[in-house]
Amino acid sequence: MSARIFECVPNISEGRVSRTLNLCVSAVERCGARVLHRTSDAAHNRSVLTIAGERRQVLDASIVLAEIALDRIDLRRHGGLHPRMGALDVLPFVPLGSATMAEAVALAHEAGAQIWERFRIPSYYYGEAALRPERRLLADVRPKPSGPPDIGDVAMHERAGAIAIGARDVLVAFNVDLATGDLGVARHIARLIRERHGGLRSLRALAFQLRDDVVQVSLNVTDERATPLYRVVEIIRALAAERGVEVRRSELIGCIPLAAVQSAALYALGVEDRSV
């Protein structure tokens, strides 16, 4: 009961070859960590695993994932919608329960050091693990970080690129697809709602063209209590309607706190008292 539990959410630059993802899941489980969720997207050519376990389990899992990505993904021949700088692109550690952010930071730094020592893949630390203030935001690290890496003596591995390794709180990844082929609509909405341009607090937003008739507003919510998902979706719906566009569907990537689900459900039911 006293064990410290951490979540790790590796973003892997492969969303089309299922064998690679199956290898990743099997390797993680052999380390003793638990795979809570997996998702892959062929258009983005990206997969996200949600892993939980004790410190040594998630550390070992992150190292073996770096090895598999190095072996099976060559960024020189990689294509996909999502920005990336590494085969194992993003590696955040999240403290759960009694685990502390300081422990997650130490875990992130050790993962970077071991990956460099074993595979000569450099890392850039972000979030609470950042060593430089200009690298706290992931968006400022990827896809082209300035300056030398935080661990390693080369900016990029020829084949595997570099890894953004972080420590952070729980994050909700959520996408909203719009029934239009006009990427300008999604870009306009993303710019209006993202925090860094004066939009919603704790919200990161990008725009992507999925198909000729579908564009996507891709969202990261770093504090779902400050910015509930139902509020984000309703704002996107209203902004899209101003351009004569409808919301086609929404998509959750990975896991979500129970409180966020309860809040959305109560909103949909029209319940005014949202205390649960």
CATH of the domain at 49: 3.30.990.10
Could you tell me if residue 274 is inside a domain? Answer: no
Nearest-angstrom CA–CA distance, 243 and 257: 32
Query: What is the number of residues in the chain?
Result: 276
- pLDDT at position 276 is 39
| φ, ψ (nearest 5 deg) of residue 57 | -65, -45
Q: Are residues 118 and 176 in the same domain?
A: no
| φ, ψ (nearest 5 deg) of residue 17 | -105, 100
Q: Are residues 39 and 99 in the same domain?
A: yes
Q: Are residues 131 and 233 in the same domain?
A: no
- pLDDT at position 144 is 78
Which amino acid, residue 238? Answer: A
Q: Around Cβ 153, how many Cβ atoms within 10 Å? A: 9
Half-sphere exposure of 138 (CA within 13 A, CB side): 23
Question: What is the pTM (predicted TM-score) of this model?
Answer: 0.89
DSSP 16: S
CATH of the domain at 227: 3.30.70.670
From the list 180, 168, 175, the residue with the least C-alpha distance to 190 is 175
- pLDDT at position 261 is 84
- Boundary (domain end) residue, out of 148, 167, 186: 167
- pLDDT at position 3 is 82
Which amino acid, residue 85? Answer: M
Could you tell me if residue 182 is inside a domain? Answer: yes
Residue 236: give the domain boundaries.
Answer: 172-268
Sheet holding 172-178, edge to edge: 203-211, 214-221, 172-178, 247-253
Q: Which of 44, 82, 109, 157 is catalytic?
A: 82
Could you tell me if residue 276 is inside a domain? Answer: no
Q: Which two tokens stand for residue 167?
A: 């420590």
Alpha helices in 211-257 (DSSP H): 229-242
> Would residue 78 show up in a list of annotated catalytic residues for this protein?
no
Q: Are residues 133 and 212 in the same domain?
A: no
> Could you tell me the CA-to-CA distances from 134 to 9, 38, 138, 145, 146 in Å, in that order?
22, 31, 10, 10, 9
Q: What is the pLDDT of residues 232-257, one digit of tens each?
A: 999 999 999 999 999 999 999 999 88
SS3 152: coil
Could you tell me if residue 222 is inside a domain? Answer: yes
Could you tell me if residue 113 is inside a domain? Answer: yes
- pLDDT at position 158 is 97
Could you tell me if residue 275 is inside a domain? Answer: no
Angle, CA of 129, 131 and 134, to the nearest 5°: 100
- Boundary (domain end) residue, out of 151, 167, 183: 167
From the list 55, 3, 58, 2, the residue with the least C-alpha distance to 33 is 58
Could you tell me if residue 30 is inside a domain? Answer: yes
Q: Are residues 26 and 102 in the same domain?
A: yes
Q: Are residues 140 and 263 in the same domain?
A: no
Which residue is listed with tokens 């949909």? 268
From the list 68, 74, 48, 64, the residue with the least C-alpha distance to 157 is 74
Which residue is listed with tokens 């990029």? 156
Could you tell me if residue 273 is inside a domain? Answer: no
Positions in the chain whose pLDDT score sits under 50? 1, 273-276
Going along the chain, which residue ranges are E strands? 5-8, 11-12, 34-41, 46-54, 88-96, 123-127, 163-167, 172-178, 203-211, 214-221, 247-253
- pLDDT at position 142 is 85
Q: Are residues 83 and 187 in the same domain?
A: no
- pLDDT at position 269 is 66
Q: Are residues 152 and 187 in the same domain?
A: no
Q: Are residues 144 and 200 in the same domain?
A: no
Q: Are residues 146 and 191 in the same domain?
A: no
- Boundary (domain end) residue, out of 118, 150, 167: 167
Q: Are residues 150 and 250 in the same domain?
A: no
Nearest-angstrom CA–CA distance, 144 and 79: 16
Count of domains in the chain? 2
Q: Are residues 111 and 196 in the same domain?
A: no
